[in-house]
Chains A and B, each alone.
Chain A
Amino acid sequence: MTKGQPINRRNFLRTGTAVSGIALAAPTLLRASSYPDRNINVVIPTREGGGADRNFRAFTSIWKEKLGTDFEPGFFPGASGRVGYEIYMGKNEPDAYNLIFGNMGPEVLNWAMQEPSFDIDDYLYFGRVDTDPGALFVGAESPLQTLDDVIAEGKKRRLNVGTSRMAHPASIGLLSLGEATGADFNLIPLSGGKNTVAGAVTGEVDFSVLTSGSVIAAGDSVKTLLVFGENRVGEALDNAPDINDAFDLDLPEMLSSRAFGIHQKAVDDYPDRFEVLTRTFKETFEDERLLTAYVEGRGTPEYLNYGGIEECAEFKAAMLELGARFKPLLTGA
C-alpha cells in the first residue's frame, strides 16, 4: 500500500491547475470527440432535381450512417455555380459543419474565366465522389442521327449546340471536336442540365453536350453520339465512341467530377473534425450499399470513383490549366 502525498500548497496548486486545465479543455475535448453533434449543412451550387441533387442524396444516404448525423442540402444556383461558392465562402462558418458539394469540372473552369471574390486556395476538395465524362447527344427525333451526320452538317452550316454553361468541360470537348474536324459549332448556354437535355429533345438547338451521367438519366429521349473520354458504360451511352478513338486525337478526358469541399480554415482549425470527415467519406466508398443507393437514385455506378485530397487537387489544377487555354473561346473575349 502506498502512502498518499500530504496536501501542501505546492501539491494543492499543482492538482488545482491540472483539474482546472481539464475542466477548461473539457468542452473542446468533448466537442472533438462528439463531432458531429448536429446536422451538416451542404451548399449545392446548382438547382434541386438535377444530377448533383441525385448524386448527393445517393451518396449521403450511406455517409450519414458512417458519420452519425444527417446532411442538410441548400441549393444556391446561379451565375454558373458562382453564387453557391460565393455564399459558401462568404457566409458559412468555417467550422467543418458547412461543406460544399460542387462539380470540380465546370465550377473550377469558372475561376479561370472570372476570378471569384475569394482566394481559390481558401477552400479545398477533399472527397471526390465520381468522374463523369462529357457526351455529345441528339434528341431521339433529331435529323442528325450519327456522328458523321453532325460533322457533315457542321461543315455546311453553323450548328447550334446546347450546353449547360459556357465554361464546362463538355463545351471544351466540343470546341476540340470543331478544331479537329473543321465543323462549325455555336455554343448556346441553356442554364442547367435539364434545359440542355430539353433543348436537344425539343429541337431548340441542333444537339447538346453535357455530363454523360445526366444524359444517361434522360433515358431514351436522347441518343448519345460521342463521349469526351472513355465510354465506361457502353450500351447506356448507345456504345458511343471516345473522341480520341474516333478522331485519332490525344485529348485529356473532359470530366465533370462531383466532390465535397471544405474551407481551408476549417481544416486548419479543426483537424480532428476533418479527420472524421475524410475517414468516414472513405468508409462510405468501401460500403457495398453505396452501389445499390446509386443505382436506385438513377446514378451511374461505373462513374463512382473515390478520390482524396491529392487527387482532387490534381483535378483542380488541371481544370485551371484547361480553362486558361480555352478562355478566349469561352468568354467571347
Chain B
Amino acid sequence: MGETGTILVEVFFQTISYWWVIIPTIFLGLIVGGVPGFSAANTIIILMPLTLAMDLETGLIFMVSLYCAARMGAGIPAILVNIPGTAGAAATPLDGYPMTKQGRGQQALAMTFVASSLGGLLTTVIALATMPVLARVGFYMHSVEMIVVMLFGISLIASIAAQDMVKGLIAGFLGLMIGSIGTDVVYATPRATFGFLELYDGIPLIPALVGLFAVSEAFVIIEKRLIITDDARKAMATPSWHATFEGASIALKRWWHIAWTSVIGLIIGVIPGAGASIASFVAYQQSRSFSKTPEAYGTGHPEGLIAPESANNGVTSGTLVPLLVLGIPGGATAAIMLVVMQFHGVSFGPSLFENNPKVGYGMFMAMAVSYLFMMFTILPLSRYMSRVTTVPTIYLAPMIISFTLVGAFVPREYMFDMYLALAFGVLGYVARRTGYHVAAILIGVILGPLLERYFLWSLKKSDGDIMVLFSSTLGNVLWVCLALSIVLPIWFETRRKRREIVIQ
C-alpha cells in the first residue's frame, strides 16, 4: 500500500471516531437544509465562533457533515409540501411532490435519501481518486462553454412546455425577464428595479422559489381537505416500514441512473461559480431526454426525483475540488470553509497535499463518512416525516405560508422579501389556475441571470462578436450534444408513434 493509501486508511478510521460530531451534525444539517432560507453556508457563519473554537479536525468534520446533510435536508420539504429549501432543490418537487400527492411520500423520501447518499458517496470517491484530473475541468469550461451548459438546463422549459408549447414558452420567457431584473454585470447599471433597492442584486432566489412553489401550492391545497388523495389517505392509515424499503429498493434498482446523474453534478460542481441549481436542472433535463418514458416526468416518476437529488449531492463533493487543489472555492459554503480553515493556519491550493495531506484527504473522507452515516440514520425517518401529508390543509396551508414567509425573510432579513414571496405566490397561483407551468417560470428566474452573466462576459471578451459562441472546440462539441439531446427524444418519440400506428 502506497503512502497515500496509508494516509487514507488512517484518516478513514480517524474520521469514524468522530461519530459523536457527525451524527448530531447530520440532524442539525437536515433541519437547516429543510428550513427555507437557511443553508449550510449561513449556519456555518452563525456558528463560526463555535467552529473557530474547535480544533482543526473537529471543525472540518463539522462543516463538511453539515454541508452534506443540509443538501439532503433541502429535498425533504420539497417532496412533502412543495417547498424547496434552496435553489439546488428546485427541481426536486417536479416529481417528488406528485409522488406525495399520490400517497407515496414515504417512498419518495426513502428514494431521495438513498439517491442522495449513494450519489454523494460515489462522487466523493470519484473526486478523491481523480482530483488532479477533475481540477482541470475548470480550465476548459469557460464562459462560452457555460452558456451551452445553461442552455441544457433552460431547454427543460421546452420539455415542460411540451403539452402546451405556447403557454410553456410564455412562462419561460416571463421567468427569463424576471431573472434580468437587477444591475447589469458589466457597468452595474440598475434595470427594471422599479426604484427598489432590494432588487439591485437581482430577484432574490429564496422568495421566488418559495413563492412560486410553496405559497401558490398553499393557495391551491386550501381548496381541498388533504394534500393527498382519499385513496392515498386510506393507504397511509396503517403506516409500515414496507414503503420505506420499497422506496429504497426502487432507488437501488436505478443505481446506474444515480451514478451518471451524480457525475453530472460532480462535473458542474467542480466549475468555479456553477452550482447545485444548474446541476439539478441539467441532470433532470438529461434524465428526461434519454428516458424511455419522458411523458411520465412531472407526474411522480422515480427517475425524475433521483436525477436532481443525485446531482445536487454530486455538486457537494465537486465544490471541494477547486478549493483544495486550486485554492478557489467552488461555492458559498466552500468559501466560508476557506475562511475558517485559514484561521486554523491551513493554506489551500497546490501545496495543500504536500504540506497537509491529512487535511486535504480528510475533507473528502469526512464527506464519505457523513454520507455513510446518513444512509443509516436518515432512512428510518422517512416513515415519520411522511405523516405530515396527512395533516388537514386548514392547518397545513397557513403553516406553509407562515413557514415560507419566514424563510423568505431569513437570508437578507428584509420585509420586502416576504412581500415578494407573496407576490410570487399570487403569480404562481394564477399560473397554475390558467395552465402555465410554474417550473418553467422558475427555471428562467434561476438560470436566466447566470446565462446572461456568461453571455455578457463572452461578448465583452470578443468585442461584441456573436460568433464567439462557436469559437471553442469543447463549446462546439457541447452545442452538438445540446442539439442531439433536444432532437433525439423528439425523433425517438415520432418513431415510436409511427410504429404504434403500423402495429395497429
Q: List A residues at the B interface (Cβ < 8 Å).
A: 47-50, 53-54, 57, 74, 76-80, 82-83, 86-87, 90, 110, 113-114, 117, 140-141, 158, 160, 165-167, 186, 188-191, 194-195, 197-198, 201-205, 217-221, 296-298, 331-332
Contact = CB atoms under 8 A, between A and B. Distances in A.
Contacts of A218: 327-328, 349
Contact of A48 (B339, B342, B343, B412): B339
Given A48-B332, A49-B336, 13 more contacts: A54-B339, A54-B342, A57-B339, A77-B201, A78-B182, A79-B190, A83-B200, A113-B187, A191-B185, A198-B138, A202-B138, A297-B343, A332-B187
B5 interface: no
Contacts of B186: 166, 189, 332
B453 interface: yes
A297 B349 CA distance: 16
Interface of B: 41, 45, 138-139, 142-143, 182-183, 185-190, 197, 200-202, 272-273, 322, 326-329, 332, 335-336, 338-339, 342-343, 345, 347-351, 412-413, 453, 457, 460-461, 463
Nearest to B348: A219
A202 B134 CA distance: 13
A78 B201 contact: yes
Contacts of A83: 197, 200-201
A221 B339 contact: no
B427 to A, nearest CB: 23
B461 A195 contact: no
A284 to B, nearest CB: 18
A117 B272 CA distance: 34
Given A160-B461, A186-B460, A331-B187, A140 B350 contact: yes
B232 to A, nearest CB: 43
15 contacts: A48-B332, A49-B336, A78-B201, A79-B190, A79-B200, A82-B183, A82-B200, A165-B188, A166-B188, A194-B272, A194-B328, A194-B335, A195-B273, A218-B349, A221-B349
Contacts of A90: 197
Contact of B326 (A57, A158, A221): A221
B351 A220 contact: yes
B339 A53 contact: yes
A114 B190 CA distance: 11
Contacts of B41: 48
A47 B348 contact: no
A198 B453 CA distance: 15
B200 A78 contact: yes
A188 B351 contact: no
Given A186-B463, A219-B350, A198 B322 contact: yes
Contacts of A332: 186-187
Contact of B142 (A48, A203, A221): A203
Contact of B350 (A57, A167, A221): A221
B345 A296 contact: yes
Contacts of A54: 339, 342
B453 A219 contact: no
A219 B332 contact: no
Contacts of B326: 198, 201, 221
Contact of B143 (A74, A77, A114, A204): A204
- Nearest 3 CB-CB pairings of A with B: A49-B335, A78-B201, A79-B183
Nearest to A54: B339
A202 B138 CA distance: 6
A221 B328 contact: yes
Given A49-B332, A220-B349, A87 B197 contact: yes
Contact of B139 (A191, A202, A205): A202
B328 A197 contact: yes
B272 to A, nearest CB: 4
A197 B327 CA distance: 10
A49 B329 contact: yes
Contact of B351 (A205, A217, A219): A219
A113 B184 CA distance: 14
B463 A158 contact: yes
A53 B329 CA distance: 14
A234 to B, nearest CB: 18
Contacts of B272: 194-195, 198, 202
A115 B273 CA distance: 30
Nearest to B143: A204
Contacts of B413: 74
A54 B183 CA distance: 26
Contact of B327 (A86, A160, A203, A219): A219
